[in-house]
Structures are given as structure tokens and as C-alpha cells.
Amino acid sequence: MRESIVLDIKDLKSHFFTAKGVAPAVDGVSIQVPAGKIIGVVGESGCGKSMTAMSVMGLLRYPGRVVGGTITLDGRDITHLSAKELSKVRGNEISMIFQEPMTSLNPVYPVGKQVREAILLHQKVSKAEAKERVVEIFRAVGIPEPEKRYYNYPHQLSGGLRQRVMIGMAMVCRPKVMIADEPTTALDVTIEAQILRLMKKLCEEQGTSIILITHNMGVVAEVCDYVYVMYAGKVMEQAETFELFDHTSHPYTRGLLNSIPRLDEKARRLHTIEGVVPNLLHLPEGCSFCTRCSEAKKRCFVERPDLYQVGEEHKVRCFQYEGEA
Amino acid sequence: MWSRVGKRIAISIPVLVGVVLAIFVMLRIVPGDPVTTMLGEHVNPAVIEKISREMGLDQPVTVQFFQYVFHALQGDFGTSYRLNRNVTGIILDAFPNTVKLSLLAAVVAWVIGIVAGIVAAVRQNRLLDRLFMGCALMGVSMPVFMTALVLQYVFAFKLKWFPVSGFDSVKAMILPAIALGWNSAGSIARMTRSNLVEVMQNDYIRTARAKGLREHGVIVGHALKNAMLPVVTMMVLQISSMLSGAVLTESVFGVPGIGRLAVNAIETRDMPLLQGTVVFTTILIIAGNLAADLLYNVLDPRIREGA
């Protein structure tokens, strides 16, 4: 993975300042996104994957705030941009689609107009030209009768079609990076495959990189080139997809993979990882996973492990692999 | 759309008939004979009887009612006992003043209410928010007559910035308009603020931000239309309630409008005039509600579809 890096997130820290204390939702996350690749970010609910995405987009709202680290987009530091400068980057060079296609579109405007707005914001084209571009992208994302759908309101479209509209909106300015936050979680499984294939196709055609946030290991195996496994605001393991599945190292990643029900095994009960994600306000003193880890040693409860290199493109945050590579 | 309009108008007819019936019966149940009130206690009973017959008051109530409706349908609401003039003419003379007062109050309420609501929502929990919402709460809590009296005392009587009563100059209209509009301004501001704050939590607001819109673009372009839908309905509804709320304001400031006519009619037991003002105001309120309903249809695509 020595391709040019489009988006370089280094040691990103985003904290939430609540009345009960400071919650480190994103705690020193580094993610590198090479051009034209699909990066998977996996983890349970509340592990900080969405917050990482929101931090990159500059969409964190009070009481959340980016407190450290750098975000470099195509060689330019976008961590400390003013609201005005950031708005030129958002939706243009980096865009995002969300988990909830049913509510992510404004109910009182036709969908075509909402996509057209993204073009008019970032490019100097006439309204008629922008409309043509919208119809074009609608066709590209597989919306039937795009000229007619342009004038439809969100409530007239199905969830799958709305997510296609969202993808169209995110892709219409040909961004360098698109962040997809669980884009298929709210959709039918049959639609899920279509949407994933569509995103992969658009990504290849336009050279856009995708950060795909998901909790679904199957989705990761299907489309991602490289995977980051997150837990309690930290990256626990990162590797190329095949490497991760072949040489799963971190106990947490193994737990996630074991949790996928298999057809070729006769199991009475589904595998689970015991316990729940720890409260961010009361993280364990040592490794954040130690309370649920079946392989935890004494040391894991008092010291925090670093990310240790175990292969060329493979890092693991676990003492078992300290000094291995 | 038009069938909906027709349906709404058809529903309004029984309401109107009901109101006419209610006011008609009520005025005849209350003790005291209008002729006696008019002429005084110590008048020859024969005279009273003669006048009652002339005015048709000796007829059974049902007959009187149908006669009244029959004439009303032709635009004739009878003759005022006191003023000895056609009620329709009296109302039409007073109506422009009430309309002027209500519209002025509505403009005061809308402009102040909406602007204050938006500012408060944007500066949520800061000083301006607290200040505006305090004023709004005062407006909503204070009865119109009290607001009117306080304004009159402070700004007309003590400070002498405005005339105490009358309605013949723009300056004289300001205090009554504020008195009548403040209450509505308060509720509009509160509703605008709470709706806007709520709408700003929606997913599509995040989408708008992610698209690259600046914060003011997000508010004006995406949040406001959604937040204002219920507010617009309330605003239109309030015009009609202002027309009736004008009763108190008009009395305090001596504005020669329909409200004051109604109060005078009650005091002098002028039945035809009172009936006339009530029926007239009812028609206005029904029309206002109809307009609000239709406007909502035009504004919200989700309802437009279902029609």
C-alpha cells in the first residue's frame, strides 16, 4: 500500500465535554486513505467510528470538539479551517452519506433540487446545466426515470431510492473522498448488495476513495481494500482485508469474526463477545478491551498497549504482539 | 384541491347556523325585556306592547329566528334599537377600523414574533434568547386588556408619547396595535424558536451542512421552511382571533371598531346589533381558519399529495 495518500488522519482526538466529565469518543485515531481505495472502519455501536467521520467532516456539534491531531486532505491541512473555508471543502472535495436515508433528505424540497444545490454551491454553472448534471448522476446511480424523479419529494421515494439520491448528492461534485456511514444498515439485504456494488463502481470510475463505516464484517470482506477495527475510540487492529481475515490477531477482531453465524458449522448458540462497550467516562486504566478480553493478563489491566507492527501492513494494539515484527 | 375547498366551506355552514342559533336563543333567555330597557321602567304597558309588536318581539321565538335568518341571508341584519340604523351599515362603517387595527397588530406580531423566534433559536440559551423569551412569556401570560391598560398608562398618560385614545392618526394606532399584537408576537416567537430548535436536530440539517452550506444557508434554506409550517397556520388563525380580541383593545383605546360596537350593544341590550356583530365576527373566524388550512396545503408537499 504505497499509493498516494488522499486523506491522512493523524492521531485524531475528539472529546465530548459533558456535565459528567470528558468523554474521549475519538482517542488518537490514525487512518490513511489511498487514492481510489475503499477503507473499512469496523466496530460495535459507540466505538467512535461515526464520531471519527463527523470530526473529519467538521460536523461535530456541541458538546463535541476536535481537540488534537491533524486531518490532511490531498496535502492540505483541513483541521483548523474557518467555517467559510471548510464549507468549500465539504460536499466538494469530501462528502458524506448517512445511515438514515429515510430522514436525511429535506421533506419540503424536491430531491433533484437538493442535489442541484450541492452543484450550485461549489461550481459556477447555470441552473439548467446543474439540472442536467443531476439527471445524469441520477441515471448513474440507477434511479429509473431520472427526469421525472428530479421533481419528486423524498416521501415519494423508497428507502433504497433515497439512498441512491444521497449517493448521487455525495458524488455529483466528484469528491476525492466519500465517507459512507453505515449506508446500507437501514436497507433491505437485497438492496444492500446493489448499493455496495454501486458505490464500488462509482469509486472506480471517478477515482474517489471511500471510507466505509460499518459493523458488518461481511460487507467489509466484500468491498474493502483495507480495514481498521475500532474499539472505545481507538484503532485496535488494522490490515489489508485478506491479511485481516487470514491472520486475525487482536482478540476483539477474532470476537467480531466469530460472531458471524456460519452455515458450515453446527452451533447451538450464536457466538458473542461477552459484556458491553465500556462507558467512555470510566475507561479501564489499562487496555480498553481488557474487561471483555478472554486472553487478558495482569499487565492488560494496568498498562495501555500501543499499536504493534505484526506484518508489512498489519498493526495490532495488544501486548501479545509487542516486539514481534 | 378545489373539492377540498368546497368540502371545507360546506362544513362551515352548520357551524355558522349553530352560532346564530346560540346567540339568538341566549339573548332571549337572559332576563330583561329590550323594550323596557330602552324606554325605562315606568312606561305605560300599552306603549311597551305596541312597540314590541312593531319590532316583532311578540312573535314566538322560532318564528323570530326564521325571520331573522331569512332577512340575514339577504344581507339585512335588522335595525339597531339604540342607533335606529341598519345594523349592516353600522358594522360596515366600523369594520375598516377593526381591519386596520388587526392588520397592524398582525404585522407587529409576525415581524417581531418571527425575528425574535429565529434570533432566540440561533442564540439558544444565551442572553438574547433569555431576553426575548422573557418578553414573549410576558406577552403570552398577560391578558390583552391588561397589556392595553399598562401601555396606555405608561406611554400615553405618563410619558405622553402617544394619544390616550382615538384612532384618527398613525400615531394613535401604534399603542392599540402593540397591545393587540404582543400576545400573538409572544406565542409566534415561542413557537418559532421551539420549532427551529427541534428542526435543527434533524438528519437533513446534517445533510445540508455536509453538502457545504454555511450555517445561515442551512437555517434560511433548509430549517426555516420546515419550522415555519405550523407557525404559518397559527399566524393566519391569529388574524381571526385578533379580530375578536380587538373587542377589549378597542374599548380601552376608544377605537370605533366592531369590538366596541359589540360592547356597546351588550351594555344597551341592543339585540340586533349584538347579533349582527357576533355573526359577522363568526364569518371572519371561519374564513380565517379556512385560509389557514388551505395555506398549509399549499406549503407542505406531504399534505398536498394526500388531498
Residue A324: pLDDT band (50, 70, 90) is: low
Residue of B nearest to A99 (CA): B203
Give the separation between CA A78 and CA A83, rounded to whole angstroms. 11
Give the separation between CA A101 and CA A103, rounded to whole angstroms. 6
Distance between A90 CA and the closest CA of chain B, angstroms: 5
> What is the ipTM metric for this complex?
0.86
Residue of A nearest to B223 (CA): A106
Pairing of the two strands A64-73 and A234-240: unpaired
**Residue A182 corresponds to which cell in the numbers above?**
453505515
Does any domain span residue B284?
A: yes
Residue B246 has pLDDT above 50, yes or no: yes
Across A295-308, average pLDDT: 90
Residue B298 has pLDDT above 60, yes or no: yes
| Residue B299, amino acid | L
* Contact yes or no for B211 and A155 at CB 8 A: no
Which of B214, B215, B301 is facing A153, going by the closest CB pair?
Answer: B301
Is residue A11 within 8 A of residue A68, CB to CB? The reply is yes
* Structural class in CATH, domain A5-93+175-321: alpha beta
Q: Is A120 on the interface with B (CB under 8 A)?
A: no
pLDDT of residue A148: 94
pLDDT of residue A267: 66
**Residue A262 corresponds to which cell in the numbers above?**
456460519
Distance between A55 CA and the closest CA of chain B, angstroms: 12
Torsion of CA B43, B46, B47, B53, to 10 degrees: 130
Is residue A162 within 8 A of residue A154, CB to CB? The reply is yes
Q: Is A291 on the interface with B (CB under 8 A)?
A: no
Is residue B121 within 8 A of residue B133, CB to CB? The reply is no
Residue A1: pLDDT band (50, 70, 90) is: very low
Does any domain span residue B250?
A: yes
What pTM does this model have? 0.78
Which of B203, B211, B300 is facing A108, going by the closest CB pair?
Answer: B300
Residue B236 has pLDDT above 60, yes or no: yes
- The string over A302-312, giving b where at least 16 C-beta atoms fall within 10 Å of a residue's C-beta and e elsewhere, is eeebebbebbe
Does any domain span residue B277?
A: yes
Is residue B11 within 8 A of residue B293, CB to CB? The reply is no
Does any domain span residue B56?
A: no
Task: Kindly list the domain boundaries of chain A, sorted by start residue.
Answer: 5-93+175-321, 101-174
Does any domain span residue B93?
A: yes
pLDDT of residue B305: 57
Residues of A in contact with B302 (CB under 8 A): 107, 153, 155
Residues of B in contact with A95 (CB under 8 A): 210-211
- Contacts with B, A 44-63, CB within 8 Å: 57, 59
Q: Is A129 on the interface with B (CB under 8 A)?
A: no
Contacts of A147 (CB under 8 A, 6+ apart): A135
Q: Which of A56, A186, A172, A55 is nearest to A123 (CA)?
A: A172
| pLDDT tens digits along B103-158 | 889 888 999 999 999 999 988 888 999 999 999 998 888 888 888 899 999 998 89
Does any domain span residue B263?
A: yes
Residue with cell 427551529: B196
Residues of A in contact with B203 (CB under 8 A): 98, 100, 103-104
Residues of A in contact with B210 (CB under 8 A): 57, 59, 90-91, 95-96, 98
The domain in which residue B105 lies consists of 87-306
Residues of B in contact with A106 (CB under 8 A): 204, 207-208, 222, 226
* Contact yes or no for B300 and A100 at CB 8 A: no
Contacts of A290 (CB under 8 A, 6+ apart): A284, A296, A300, A301
Q: Among B126, B199, B203, B207, which would you mutate to test the A interface (most chain A Cβ atoms within 10 Å of its Cβ)?
A: B207
Does any domain span residue B232?
A: yes
Q: Is A90 on the interface with B (CB under 8 A)?
A: yes
Which of B210, B222, B299 is facing A90, going by the closest CB pair?
Answer: B210
* Contact yes or no for B214 and A105 at CB 8 A: no
Residue B299 has pLDDT above 90, yes or no: no
pLDDT of residue A3: 66
Q: Which of A198, A207, A235, A220 is nearest to A47 (CA)?
A: A235
DSSP bridge pairs for A98: none
Number of domains chain B contains: 1
* Contact yes or no for A108 and B214 at CB 8 A: no
* Cβ-based interface (< 8 Å): residues of B facing A: 202-204, 206-215, 221-222, 225-226, 229, 299-302, 305
Across A203-207, average pLDDT: 87
Q: Is A153 on the interface with B (CB under 8 A)?
A: yes
DSSP bridge pairs for B64: none
pLDDT of residue B134: 92
CATH number at residue B159: 1.10.3720.10
pLDDT of residue B1: 67
pLDDT of residue A204: 87
Q: Is A134 on the interface with B (CB under 8 A)?
A: no
* Contact yes or no for A107 and B206 at CB 8 A: no
Supply the DSSP string of B235-266, one letter for each residue: HHHHHHHHHHHHHHHHHHHT--SHHHHHHHHH
